[in-house]
Amino acid sequence: MSERPVFVLNGPNLNLLGKREPEIYGHTTLADIEAACRALAQELGLALEFRQSNSEGELVSWIQEAREAASAIVINPAAYTHTSIAIMDALATCSFPIIEVHLSNIHRREPFRHHSYVSKVAQAVIAGCGAHGYLLALRHVAYLLAQSR
């Protein structure tokens, strides 16, 4: 098991997964995603810190905490993807892998969703794979961490 956990951070309204717009986001809940991530992390030998907040400031604080405590960040910033320079700036201070995840393909949606501040500081972006995107992100983190040893 890695000493430093991978922080999986989730932005606003993701606590409503399974109830909110299932035609876009599916029926999988955030608790389902967390359980799947924990199972895969154990298989990959990764420690995991899984969190969700509707508050931009709390997400920034968690990113700052991760700077010292984490080995990587997987982040689904949700709507803050398109608006938060604060989250981008916080992520830019991290010296480890950052993987951006979106359940839907943001490039097939409304034009305002096509721009991501987070993508400017992420090593990779996974979009349109539904809940499976989180598992792809964790596998990629494990690969990147193994390459850096």
Looking at the annotation, which residues are catalytic? 25, 102
Residues contacting 35, CB < 8 A, separation 6+: none
Which H helix or E strand runs over 112? Answer: none
Angle at 129 between CA 135 and CA 115, to 5 degrees: 110
Task: Compute the distance between CA of residue 31 and CA of residue 95 in angstroms, rounded to an integer.
Answer: 29
